[in-house]
């Protein structure tokens, strides 16, 4: 006998199901897309145990007759296309005819459906690929599909499912995006009788974005539009609203949620130099193209798309984004300037608190420094006519010579600033040029690191709690890890659905933006890295916190500010480089200056 056999249909179906059904979120995606294609205006998704125990999707769509129901669960059965040529005019989300057969092959699935013109409905079961005959039942118009015990007959697949909260976060993220793709449909997502997402279905995109992302995000979003080919509309975030990953890119093609590296590149090119490195905007982009200009039949998941003319689409998207961001009223962030009586307050605010008290009155994370010219405030330096040697000394030489000794800083005499970025001072070895951002970054880093290592869980309570609105996905991540956030100093209180109160912030990050830190940590938790909250707070994260809270370049400091900065720099262990290794000081010796003036 030969060695090669034809697999029986049951085994073949279970293997093929792996291409369509990978996780509970795959099941939800296929069922919800079927509901949309059926003309539904209300879709309800109910879950148990993150979808591992039960997934139920009910809608008010067109429903199925007894005959259609019996055929719908067979492989390659579809009402969307008749031949390969119909793909050129595809107007539906589904078309492959694989979803129900694949889901039924690896679960216990029940389908109940009734058409609007029928007085009775019909139901059937598919258990591990074996289907029953349709039976007459009473049910509302539309379709309800219940999927129980996913992968019950494929234990190897079931073993690799993630935790209920991880699976649930993926589903809530998917439903949030699908709801934005169709604001004219009312979506409701429930888990263990708790509502996670609920949209009105009134075709108001702003209301859907409010329900998914919250009011803070919505008020920092602007509409874009490209009214010629290719037709593009959407919402983009202002430069001051960013996230730590590309997770908040949502692209829709003719109402279909897609992934596109090319479109992501276009977004980042448009935002280039407008936002900090390794920060990403929130974008919701809608494209309308004729079906013959793209191919969605790339993968069974139908997320990948090939475009016929991606260059034109990218150019149009960049142009649309730039037309909004180039508006000065959009590009300049609105801030409330608080009154200040002492110019030195900007740099001294990091010690402006009583050490023994737990109440911290939060300040805006913006430095307000008087644009004061130091010229005239300092006495003119007497000309140096000595004959010492002049040469440029790099930071490595300087570090070796002083070897941790920062006493030379006390002898520096401040002369002024260059472009609000570099401090100029005279000292024992000549002319000192000091990078004010690098100096303050080193001060902030050593202070943050010392405080974090000593008491990572110490908190300072806020006089007025901050309300934080999260996405349903972020809310799940936070609820699962709220104890671990307490371990690093966050005091949080659940305030209903996806809203939390930030009542206390980590003492080691008092001068930083703790709300932004919280969101960044949540994104890292949701990235699937498997790291704990404490593991995410690595040296690199501390570097980043120090950098963000340090005084920036092009900030004009008063003489008192500069002297205070140098006094703080004297106290650090390494006053020669910032945490990233860049030099803080550069020295021009008298000999080098003399040589530049061609004097022997």
Residue-wise DSSP of 139-171: --SEEEEEEESTTTT-HHHHHT---HHHHHHHH
Helix 514-526 with 472-486: angle, nearest 10 deg: 110
What pLDDT score does 553 carry? 83
Q: Which helix (H) or strand (E) holds 316?
A: helix 310-325
Does residue 499 lie in a domain region?
no
419 & 289 share domain: no
Domain ranges, residue 403: 374-441+552-596
**Does 24 map to a domain?**
yes
Kindly report, residue by residue over 47-58, the tens digit of the pLDDT.
999 999 999 999
Backbone angles phi, psi at 497, to 5 degrees: 50, -110
Task: Indicate left, alpha or beta for 35 from its phi (over 0: left) and psi (-120 to 50: alpha).
Answer: alpha
For the chain, first and last CA: distance in Å?
A: 100
Domains: count for the chain: 3
Asked if residue 26 and residue 162 are part of one domain, the reply reads yes
The Cα–Cα gap between 233 and 181 comes to 12
Q: Are 427 and 567 in the same domain?
A: yes
Based on the domain organization, do 324 and 185 belong to the same domain?
A: no
Give the phi and the psi of residue 313 in degrees, each rounded to 5.
-65, -45
29/355: higher pLDDT: 29
Which of 331, 365, 393 is the last residue before a domain boundary?
A: 331
- Residue identified by tokens 């790099």 is 394
| 527 in any annotated domain | no
Last residue of a domain, one of 270, 298, 331: 331
Instruction: Calculate what percentage of the chain has a pLDDT beyond 90.
Output: 52
Residue pair 282/236 in contact (Cβ under 8 Å)? The answer is: yes
Same domain, 15 and 121: yes
Q: What are phi and psi of 190, to 5 degrees?
A: -125, 145
Q: What is the pLDDT confidence band of residue 7, given thresholds at 50, 70 and 90? A: low
Q: How far is CA 108 from CA 433, 443, 539, in A?
A: 73, 61, 48
As a whole number of angstroms, the longest Cα–Cα distance in the chain is 107
pLDDT digits (tens, 9 = 90+) for 422-477: 999 999 889 999 999 999 999 999 999 888 888 899 999 999 999 999 999 999 99
Distance CA 476, CA 490 (A): 17
The predicted-structure confidence for 290-315, as pLDDT tens digits, reads as follows 888 888 766 666 678 889 999 999 99
Give the CATH number, domain containing residue 239.
3.30.230.10
The verdict on 56 and 167 lying in the same domain is yes
pLDDT-derived band at 397, boundaries 50, 70, 90: very low
Dihedral angle computed from the Cα positions of residues 512, 422, 384 and 588, in that order, rounded to the nearest 10 degrees: 100
292 shares its domain with 383: no
Bridge-based pairing state of the strands 359-360 and 459-469: parallel
Place of tokens 């900030």: 555
In whole angstroms, give the CA distance from residue 324 to residue 385: 57
- Confidence at 343, pLDDT banded by 50, 70, 90: very low
Conformation bin of residue 346: beta by default, left when phi > 0, alpha when psi is -120 to 50: alpha
Q: What is the mean predicted confidence (pLDDT) over 346-356?
A: 41
Peptide bond into 428 cis (omega under 30): no
Based on the fold, state whether residues 194 and 225 are members of the same structural domain. no
Question: Sorting pLDDT into bands at 50, 70 and 90, what band is 327?
Answer: confident
> Is 453 within the bounds of a domain?
no
Evaluate whether residue 42 is within a structural domain.
Answer: yes
On the question of pLDDT at 287 being above 90, the answer is yes
Contact 546, 445 (CB under 8 A): yes
Whether residue 501 is contained in a domain is answered as no
Do 175 and 91 lie in one domain? The reply is yes
The pLDDT of residue 379 is above 70: no
Residue 300 lies in a domain: yes
- Do 243 and 327 lie in one domain? The reply is yes
Q: How confident is the model over 567-585, as pLDDT tens digits?
A: 999 999 889 888 888 899 9
Residue 150 has pLDDT above 50, yes or no: yes
pLDDT tens sequence across 547-563: 888 888 888 898 899 99
Asked if pLDDT for residue 350 goes beyond 60, the answer is: no
Instruction: Give the DSSP letter of residue 243.
Output: B
Q: Residue 122 has what DSSP assignment? A: E
Average pLDDT over residues 38-64: 96
For the chain, give me the number of helices (H) and strands (E)?
Answer: 20, 25
The pLDDT of residue 394 is 43
Quick one: pLDDT at residue 376?
Answer: 32
Residue 1 has pLDDT above 80, yes or no: no
Share of the chain above pLDDT 70, in %: 79
Highest averaged pLDDT of the listed ranges 202-206, 532-536, 552-556, 594-598: 202-206
Answer yes or no: do 286 and 399 share one domain.
no
Domain membership of residue 502 (yes or no) is no
Closest CA to 405 of 568, 572, 582: 572
Rounded mean pLDDT, 120-126: 96
CATH number at residue 426: 3.30.1540.20
Identify whether residues 193 and 228 lie together within a single domain.
no
């Amino acid at each position: 006998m030969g060695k090669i056999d034809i697999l029986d249909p049951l085994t073949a179906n279970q293997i093929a199901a792996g291409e369509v059904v990978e996780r509970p979120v795959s099941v939800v995606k296929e069922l919800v897309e079927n509901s949309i294609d059926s003309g539904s205006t209300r879709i309800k998704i109910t879950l148990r145990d993150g979808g591992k125990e039960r997934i139920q999707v009910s809608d008010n769509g067109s429903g199925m007759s007894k005959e259609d129901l019996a055929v719908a669960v067979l492989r390659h059965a579809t009402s969307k296309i008749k031949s390969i040529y119909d793909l050129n005019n595809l107007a539906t989300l589904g078309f492959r005819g694989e979803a129900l057969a694949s889901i039924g092959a690896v679960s216990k699935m029940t389908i109940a459906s009734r058409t609007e013109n029928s007085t009775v409905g019909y139901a059937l079961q598919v258990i591990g690929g074996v289907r029953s005959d349709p039976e007459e039942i009473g049910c509302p118009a539309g379709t309800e599909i219940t999927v129980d015990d996913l992968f019950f007959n494929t234990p190897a697949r079931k073993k690799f499912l993630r935790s209920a909260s991880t699976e649930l976060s993926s589903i809530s993220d998917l439903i949030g995006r699908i709801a934005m793709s169709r604001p004219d449909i009312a979506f409701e997502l429930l888990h263990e009788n708790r509502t996670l997402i609920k949209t009105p279905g009134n075709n108001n995109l702003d209301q859907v974005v409010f329900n998914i992302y919250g009011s803070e995000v919505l008020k920092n979003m602007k509409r874009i539009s490209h009214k010629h080919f290719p037709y593009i509309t959407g919402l983009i975030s202002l430069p001051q609203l960013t996230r730590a990953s590309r997770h908040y890119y949502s692209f829709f093609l003719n109402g279909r949620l897609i992934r596109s590296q090319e479109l992501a590149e276009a977004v980042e090119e448009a935002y280039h130099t407008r936002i900090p490195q390794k920060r990403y905007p929130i974008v919701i982009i809608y494209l309308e193209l004729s079906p013959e200009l793209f191919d969605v039949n790339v993968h069974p998941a139908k997320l990948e798309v090939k475009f016929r003319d991606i260059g034109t689409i990218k150019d149009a998207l960049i142009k649309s984004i730039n037309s909004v961001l180039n508006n000065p009223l959009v590009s300049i962030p609105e801030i409330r300037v608080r009154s200040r009586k002492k110019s030195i307050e900007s740099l001294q605010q990091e010690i402006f608190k009583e050490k023994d008290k737990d109440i911290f009155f939060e300040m805006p994370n913006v430095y307000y420094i008087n644009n004061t010219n130091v010229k005239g405030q300092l006495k003119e330096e007497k000309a140096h006519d000595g004959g010492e040697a002049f040469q440029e000394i790099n930071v490595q030489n300087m570090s070796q010579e002083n070897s941790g000794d920062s006493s030379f800083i006390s002898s520096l005499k401040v002369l002024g600033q260059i472009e609000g970025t570099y401090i100029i001072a005279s000292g024992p070895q000549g002319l000192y040029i000091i990078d004010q951002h690098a100096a303050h970054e080193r001060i902030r880093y050593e202070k943050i690191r010392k405080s974090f290592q000593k008491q990572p869980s110490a908190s300072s309570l806020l006089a007025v709690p901050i309300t934080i609105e999260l996405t349903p996905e972020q809310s799940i991540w936070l609820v699962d890890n709220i104890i671990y956030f307490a371990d690093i100093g966050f005091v949080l209180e659940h305030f209903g659905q996806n809203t939390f109160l930030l009542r206390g912030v980590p003492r080691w990050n008092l001068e930083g933006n703790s709300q932004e830190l919280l969101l960044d940590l949540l994104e890292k938790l949701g990235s699937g890295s498997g790291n704990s909250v404490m593991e995410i707070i690595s040296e690199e994260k501390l570097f980043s916190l120090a950098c963000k809270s340090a005084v920036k370049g092009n900030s004009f400091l008063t003489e008192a500010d500069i002297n205070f900065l140098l006094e703080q720099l004297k106290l650090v262990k390494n006053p020669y480089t910032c945490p990233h290794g860049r030099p803080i000081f550069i020295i021009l010796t008298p000999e080098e200056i003399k040589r530049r003036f061609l004097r022997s």
